[in-house]
Amino acid sequence: MQKAQLDRFRSLLQERLVLAAGFAPGVSPDEPLRTSPRDRALVDGIRAALDRIEEGSYGACSRCGQPLSERQLELRPASAVCPACRRARPG
């Protein structure tokens, strides 16, 4: 994936992290306001995607290694698994 694409997805993920965690002005990103299990899972998934960008593995399926489609990443930028692998082995 090209640097411009990675930068765009990084910005998108950072925006979604702020929304998902319900950060308030002056509150550290490490102290989200929302604490339901679903909200924590969403925040954890977004942080994992940001880590994959830094590691250089963002945009590749974590199971088979094939590239994720740009459409999939546009819809769910924290995606780590391609549709084929998700269907083959849910979870």
- 60 alpha carbon, distance to own chain's centre: 12
pLDDT above 90: residue 8: yes
All structural domains of the chain, each given as residue ranges with its CATH number in brackets, are: 3-22+35-88 (1.20.120.910)
Task: Encode pLDDT of 22-72 as tens digits.
Answer: 655 555 556 555 567 787 888 899 999 999 999 999 999 999 999 999 999
Tokens describing residue 84:
């084929």
In a 3-state reduction of DSSP, which class is residue 60?
strand
pLDDT at 29: 57
pLDDT at 38: 80
pLDDT at 39: 77
pLDDT at 43: 86
Asked whether the CA dihedral 72, 73, 76, 81 is positive or negative, the reply is positive
